[in-house]
């Protein structure tokens, strides 16, 4: 059921690195993005896939992880993703709405990953020039997002935003990742 997939689709940042995510799986996930809506049907997104451990290590070095958890530099060796999908925007096809395309495609990819028992994280904190150099990405392509994919190793729970209105995610002493969400009654401001 789609509601269950959405509830399970949290930004996962720790994985069972030894669990292989192959190129065929990544390709099937990108196909979900390809089939998703695109503003004016321009389809400006392109993708680079990596299931190669050596290439993954280089990609990992270009990424920032969990900005709200300030004392955590990202997953340790053994907890890193075993696959990456780098989303590119073709400047020769993009319009002002390419960001929407990127979000829609990314959500489709991540829901597909959850359906397969995998999880992922959309990462926009990217050392773009370094990644461009590593992967030899043509300058005509912008790099809006990288999606990390793997078998989830962490427990993630959704909870209501408290009376302090704090929305920052956090980890407890057992490593459980907590994600505060606003209550439905607090976000619907009109109903007719």
Domains and CATH numbers, the chain: 2-154 (3.40.109.10), 155-192 (2.20.180.10)
Q: Average pLDDT in the 157-168 region?
A: 90
Please give the pLDDT value at position 51: 98
pLDDT in tens, 23-82: 999 999 999 999 999 999 999 999 999 999 999 999 999 999 988 888 888 999 999 999
Bridge partners of 15, per DSSP, are 152
The pTM of this model reads 0.93
Torsion of CA 85, 86, 87, 88, to 10 degrees: -150
Closest alpha carbon to 102 in 115, 127, 120, 85:
85
| C-alpha to C-alpha distance for 131 and 126, rounded to whole angstroms | 8
Residue 152 pLDDT more than 80?
A: yes
Question: What is the spatial distance between Cα 100 and Cα 148, in angstroms, rounded to a whole number?
Answer: 19
Q: Encoding tokens for residue 73?
A: 């530099």
Task: Supply the pLDDT for residue 10.
Answer: 92
Neighbours of 79 (CB within 10 A): 15
Q: What is the mean pLDDT of residues 173-184?
A: 91
Q: Which pLDDT belongs to residue 104?
A: 97
pLDDT average, residue stretch 141-156:
96
> For 83-137, how does the pLDDT look when each residue is reduced to its tens digit (9 = 90+)?
999 999 999 887 889 999 999 999 999 999 999 999 999 999 999 999 999 999 9
**Beta bridge pairs of residue 83:** 149
């Amino acid at each position: 059921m789609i509601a269950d997939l959405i509830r399970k689709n949290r930004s996962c940042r720790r994985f069972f690195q030894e669990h292989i995510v192959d190129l065929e799986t990544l390709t099937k996930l990108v196909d979900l993005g390809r089939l998703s809506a695109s503003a004016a049907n321009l389809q400006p997104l392109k993708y680079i896939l990596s299931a190669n451990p050596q290439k993954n290590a280089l990609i990992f070095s270009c990424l920032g992880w969990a900005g709200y958890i300030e004392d955590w530099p990202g997953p340790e060796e053994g907890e890193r993703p075993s696959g990456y999908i780098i989303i590119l925007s073709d400047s020769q096809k993009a319009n002002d709405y390419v960001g929407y395309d990127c979000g829609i495609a990314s959500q489709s990819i991540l829901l597909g990953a959850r359906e397969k028992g995998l999880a992922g994280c959309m990462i926009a904190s990217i050392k773009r020039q370094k990644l461009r150099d590593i992967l030899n990405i043509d300058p005509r392509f912008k790099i809006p997002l990288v999606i990390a994919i793997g078998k989830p190793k962490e427990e993630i729970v959704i909870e209501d935003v408290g009376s302090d209105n704090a929305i920052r995610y956090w980890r407890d002493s057992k490593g459980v990742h907590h994600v505060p969400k606003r209550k439905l009654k607090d976000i619907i401001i009109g109903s007719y």
